[in-house]
Structures are given as C-alpha cells and as structure tokens.
Amino acid sequence: MRTLNQTTQEVLDLAAKHFQVAPGSLAPEDDFFKKLGIDSLQALELLSRLENHFGIELPDYEVQGVSDFKTLAERIQSRL
Amino acid sequence: MLDLSKYQSVGAALKDALDTFSNEVCLIESDRDREKERLTYREFKQRAHSLARAMQEAGFGAGDRASIIMTNQSKWLITAYAIFYCGGVLVPLDYKLTPEEQWRLLKHSGASMLITEYPIWRQLSLSGERASASNVRKILVAEAPPIELGGALRWEQFSSPSEPLFVPRSRSDLASVVYSSGTGGRPKGCMMTHENYLEQCIALTSIYPFWPGVRYLSILPTNHAIDFMVGFFGPFICGACVVHLRTLRPEYVREAFPKYKITYVSLVPLVLRNLQKGLQARFDALPPGKRRLFNLLVALNRALTKKRPRLGLSRMLLKQVHAAFGGELRAIIVGGAFTEPQTLQFFYDLGIPVANGYGLTEAGTAITVNDLKPFRADTVGKPLPGMEVKIVNPDADAIGEVLVRSKTVMSGYLNDPELTAETILDGWLKTGDLGRFDAAGHLQLFGRKKNMIVTEEGKNIYPEDIETVFESLPVKEFCVFAANYVWLQKSMVGEQLVLVLHLDPGQSLTEDLRKEISARNNRLLNYKRVHGVVLFQEDFPRTASLKIKRNELAERLAQLDRASAILPL
C-alpha cells in the first residue's frame, strides 16, 4: 500500500510527464490550473491518466473544486 | 411533436408526451463503458409517478418549491417531472457551486425540498451554512451508501404505490426559479413562468425540431437554461431521446457520438474549441498526399454548402469525419458564451453546422439563433419567432444596448422588485450587451455595458459575487471589476476580472501582499479568479450609505492606461 507521500509524488511525476514540464518543477501545494496553464478539460484528461496509473475509478465529482496536487492525491489515496 | 399552444403548463405538456410516446426510449444513461439505464417514456412515467405520489403524501403541493442539485442523469429529469406533476416550482441549482453557495441560494429560493445525490450531499451536510436554510425541510439523496444520511432520506426508497394526483397550473404561474448569478452577493433568481418555457420551446423547435429517433447528448448542466430546454423539455415533447454521460472526460464524450448515434449536442465554446483542436491535430498528422486530398474535399464541401447545409452531401464527401461523430449528427448547438467565428467556420466547412445563438436566462434561454440560411459565422443569428429585439442609444457605428421583449422574458427577480424594475422597463428586458443588426437582420455582438464577464465555459461571473473572498484584505479599500467594463472593448473575447486596490498611505504592493491576494484568489474556483491588480491612488467614490459608486469609480479608472494599469498576479 502506497503512503500519501508516495501517491503525491506519483501524481506530480505523472502530471509533469503528461504536460511535458521538467520533473521536479511541480510541488504538492501548486495550483495545477495556474502552474500548468491548463483548463478544466485538460484537468479531466489528467484524471484519466491517473486512473490508469493507479488502477482506480475517480468519478468526476471527486475533483470538483480541487485545484492543487495535494488534495488530488488525497482523493486518490482514499480510493486505493 | 405536441402542439404547445394548447397547453397551460410544462407539467401538462410533459404528462401528455409521456403517454403519446410511451414506447419510445426517452433516456439513456452511460458511465464510461457501462450503460447504466435505458428507459422508455412509459418506464419514466412509472418512476416519476411513484416519486410524485410520495412527495404529495409528504405535503408537497401547488406552488411549493423543490430544488434539484444533481449532475446530469436520469434522476434529474424524473425528479423535475415529479415536481411539475405536483404543481410545484423547480429550483435547479448548479452542482458546481460550493456547499455554502448552494445553501445560501436554497435559503433565498424558499425551497422546502432538496433533491440531490450522495457526493454532493456529503459536502452539503458538512457545511456550517446548513442551519441558515431552515426552510429546507425534506431532503432526498440519490445513490447513497448504506450509512446514516444526517436526516436525509434515500431517493430510491422515497416512493408510493398509489397514483399521484395531477395538479394543473396556468401559464402565468411560476414554473421555476433559475439563478443567473448572485452566489456571493445579490442573488438573481429569475422567475420563469410556464408560459416562458412553452413559448421558448415553440420558437426553438420551429427552427431546430426534434422527433422520435433523435438522440440528444446532454453535456451542459441541466440546471442551465439551455440544457433544460434542449436536453429535457424540447426532446420530451417531441418523443426524442436524451443521452446522459456520468463521466464527462473528453475520451468518453468522443466515444458517445458513434456509440449512441447522436443527432444533436449542446456545447460551451471551451469544449467546442477543444474538439476543434483535437480534430485539427488529427488532420495535421495526415500524410501530405492524403492531407492535400482532404483539404480539397473540405474546400469542395464549403463551396457546395455556401447557401445552405447539405448533410447528405457532406457526409459523403467527408465520410471519415462524420463517421467519427456517429454519422447521424445534424448540428452542434453552442451557447452559454461567445464563440469565435473561426471555430464555427471550421465545423461548418466539415459539414457539421454549429447552431450558435445568443441568449440569457432572463430572456428564457435563446433570443437569437443562426437559422443556417445561409450559415454566418460572424453573427449570433436572427431573432427567434416571437422575439422583439431592438438596439437603443446606438453610437456612430450603430452599436447600442440590446433590448428584448417577448413572452419568454422572465416575470422578474425573486424577492428583488428594485432590480427587476431596473432590468425590465415597459416590458423590455435590458440585456446589458452591446450589439447591432446588419443589413440581413442578423445580430452581431460587440461587448457589454454591464460589469460582468462570461467565461468560455459559459459561466456568468459578477465581480460583486467574488469580492467576499477579499474581505479584510489589509488595504484601505478594494473593488473588483470586469476589465472590459472599465475599458470598454467592442469585443466578446478576452474578458478578465481585475482587483482594484487603494492602498493605505505609505503602503506598497509588497510581495507579502501579492501572496495574500494570490492565496485568497486561489480559494475561488479557477474560472472565477481575478487576472490582475490595478492600483488606484484616490478614495473610492461612495454613496451616503458608504456603498461604492461603481459606475463613477469605473469612469475614473478608465482614465488610466489599461495595458500598464493591470499588474499581473
């Protein structure tokens, strides 16, 4: 079982890879809309990548209002 | 299609539709690859009636208000029909609002019932604002796990085997209260009558008809005026089918088109542009030879459809593109915000007409719509039948404020006669939008004279509504403005909000203050955030009761140079 820290790191790594930014340039508290310059649809795309990676289903409502990696990782962790 | 001129209420029309089209499929609900539900009009009626009867047994009756806060799904429509059947008033709320905002609007609406789904209820039940909405006495929660629900009842178990009693309403009775804004400040609850909906539906279906066999993909939230009309009332009174997706990821939306042979879909400009980007990337990846042939076919299609759409021909010429959309798509309806002409033209050239229009909740969904005779990417179309539209106080370019008079215009704002009187003058609704008519009678829009923005996602954002997040900011005074309202732009694109600060004597915009502003800004949903800061050196003009005179302040701010005045956050 992953720890929350591990999950958070994997979320950051995957986001960096998906949106082609330097690994390590993202921090848990970062606002992903702002930091990555993405819109809500691109955020949903990231969600699909995360689902595949973690082997879970994340309903759309789970990320409703979520804009930072840390909270996103917590939502994932609760479903692992 | 039913003849709506003969009906007095939304409920009466829907009631007849369920019997008229009883064997047709009315709803399909899908979640990822799984089809969760497929209901005929007969099955829909059975479910709605057992809910309506249980509501009546719980004391819900004529004129009572019930709110729905749900994502797009079959239970949304079943519940809405049950409310109308009981003679009730529907209060559809945006499921994307925060729980605090939802409770505040629930309180304002006077709703006695709330119907929601578990993930939303989980948040709502934890909110401290719940106690303030004591008017909400009964709460139904759908799809809840087997745990205690904090006083709420399960939607699935709230049913009665007896037949409900249909409660007739008249055309002038209130059918719904739809909030066009006001989550943080002054709630704008548009009071829509049964006549508003019946007349809007007659007008829209005269140009874009539905019929049994049509499949409408419902993506825009159903609480939004557009989806309520073209994703519920319109299709139902024509015997068409509505498809709901529980997961709105781009890949599932794409798959839905061929899987369910979608006929119509409504999108906001952001999603349409995303679709355009995806298609363009695929076209760009074609080998040079195929790309040349493809471009030739697109040019040919454009030439052959110049005067009117020719769906059969376009499907033949651009077979693969149309196959990706299921081969049955007749038009994409785009609304909620301004769409760039080049995006509209892109789809039309592929043989997929985009029915763009213009409207606002206060006017009962749509005011103008493109009738495609011929297609025009540079306008928002002509007024719908029954709509009187005029331009007042035109400038040298004939651009002035758009005013509307029609049977579809709301009766007013709930509990706000003052705002109603400011907005509707002698029956004419002041839209606050700037436009002009061209020689062919098409309306063109050129910005707004009201202090608000509309995002590409179709969200109306009023500065007053987001100011609460900046309360007690350590500055002398502050105010939020739509930049295009201060520095008037004859454009509907690039709309932004700015935070105007008047600092204390000797104070400067330090890094700490910037961080504080950013932290507060980030508490807002991403589409509600301010884009930059404007420093203003004078005291804000205020009324005797110390309210900011926004118009006067805007006039003074306009004297600053926009480009250098807005400091990015």
Question: For B346-361, how does the pLDDT look when each residue is reduced to its tens digit (9 = 90+)?
Answer: 999 999 999 999 999 9
Which tokens hold the place of B263? Answer: 């006929």
Minimum-distance CB partner of B270 among A41, A47, A62: A41
Domain assignment of residue B424, yes or no: yes
How wide is the angle at C-alpha B11 spanned by C-alphas B8 and B16, nearest 5°?
90
Is 80 exceeded by the pLDDT of residue B114? Answer: yes
Is 90 exceeded by the pLDDT of residue B436? Answer: yes
Strands B34-40 and B412-413: unpaired
Cα–Cα distance list, B50 to B83, B86, B158 (Å): 12, 12, 8
CATH number, residue B489: 3.30.300.30
Which tokens hold the place of B352? Answer: 């997929």
Domain assignment of residue B291, yes or no: no
CA distance B527 to chain A (A): 9
SS3 annotation, B243-261: EEECCCCHHHHHHHHHHHC
Residue-wise pLDDT tens digits, B136-176: 999 999 999 999 999 999 999 999 999 999 999 999 999 99
Is the Cβ pair B71, A61 closer than 8 Å?
yes
Q: In terms of domains, do B63 and B152 share one? A: yes
Domains: count for chain A: 1
Place of tokens 């005067």: B307
Q: In terms of domains, do B447 and B469 share one? A: no
* Domain closes at, from B424, B456, B488: B456
- pLDDT reported for residue A62: 74
Q: In terms of domains, do B444 and B540 share one? A: no
d(CA B125, CA B347): 44
CATH number, residue B386: 2.30.38.10
Interface test with B, best of A40, A42, A75 (most B CBs within 10 A): A40
Residues spanned by the domain of B523? 462-568
Residue B184's pLDDT band (cuts 50, 70, 90):
low
Contacts with B522 from chain A: Cβ below 8 Å: 31, 34, 67
Structural contact between residues B65 and B109, judged by C-beta atoms closer than 8 angstroms: yes
pTM of this structure: 0.86
Domain assignment of residue B76, yes or no: yes
Structural contact between residues B401 and B391, judged by C-beta atoms closer than 8 angstroms: yes
Q: In terms of domains, do B66 and B84 share one? A: yes
The CA radius of gyration of chain A, in Å to the nearest whole number, is 11
Domain assignment of residue B137, yes or no: yes
Q: What are phi and psi of B240, to 5 degrees?
A: -85, 180
Q: In terms of domains, do B506 and B394 share one? A: no
- pLDDT reported for residue B103: 96
The CA radius of gyration of chain B, in Å to the nearest whole number, is 24
Domain assignment of residue B530, yes or no: yes
Range name among B295-309, B453-467, B526-540 with the lowest pLDDT average? B453-467
Strands B138-142 and B113-117: parallel
Is 70 exceeded by the pLDDT of residue B290? Answer: yes
Q: In terms of domains, do B412 and B488 share one? A: no
- pLDDT reported for residue A61: 76
d(CA B276, CA B284): 12
Is 90 exceeded by the pLDDT of residue B371? Answer: no
* Domain closes at, from B409, B433, B456: B456
Q: In terms of domains, do B104 and B155 share one? A: yes
d(CA B365, CA B375): 21
Q: In terms of domains, do B494 and B432 share one? A: no
Determine which helix (DSSP H) or strand (DSSP E) holds A5, and give its type and residue range: helix A4-18
Q: In terms of domains, do B497 and B427 share one? A: no
Residue B549's pLDDT band (cuts 50, 70, 90):
confident
Determine which helix (DSSP H) or strand (DSSP E) holds B103, and give its type and residue range: helix B99-109
Q: For chain B, what percent of residues have pLDDT higher than 70?
A: 99
Q: In terms of domains, do B428 and B469 share one? A: no
* Residues in contact with B247: Cβ distance below 8 Å, sequence separation at least 6, in sequence order: A59, A60, B31, B32
Range name among A44-48, B426-430, B497-501, B529-533 with the lowest pLDDT average? A44-48
Taking residues B51-56, report their average pLDDT: 98
Is the Cβ pair A40, B526 closer than 8 Å?
yes
d(CA A33, CA B515): 17
Is 70 exceeded by the pLDDT of residue B183? Answer: no
Cα–Cα distance list, B449 to B393, B435, B492 (Å): 12, 10, 11
d(CA B42, CA B22): 5
Q: What are phi and psi of B551, to 5 degrees?
A: -60, -45
- pLDDT reported for residue B17: 98
CA distance A69 to chain B (A): 13
Range name among A29-33, B43-47, B333-337 with the lowest pLDDT average? B333-337
Domain assignment of residue B209, yes or no: no
Q: Does residue B374 have a cis peptide bond before it, meaning omega lies within 30 degrees of 0?
A: yes
Cβ contacts below 8 Å, chain A against chain B, sum to: 47
Is 80 exceeded by the pLDDT of residue B494? Answer: no
**If you average pLDDT over every residue of chain A, what do you get?**
88
User: Which is higher by pLDDT, A34 or B301?
Assistant: B301
Domains: count for chain B: 3
Tallying the residues shown for chain B, one arrives at 569
CATH number, residue A56: 1.10.1200.10
Domain assignment of residue B505, yes or no: yes
Is 70 exceeded by the pLDDT of residue A72? Answer: yes
Q: In terms of domains, do B81 and B108 share one? A: yes
Residues spanned by the domain of A36? 4-77
Domain assignment of residue B118, yes or no: yes
* Domain closes at, from B456, B489, B511: B456
* Burial class, A16, CB count within 10 angstroms (exposed 0-12 / middle 13-18 / buried 19+): middle
ipTM exceeds 0.90: no
Q: In terms of domains, do B45 and B130 share one? A: yes
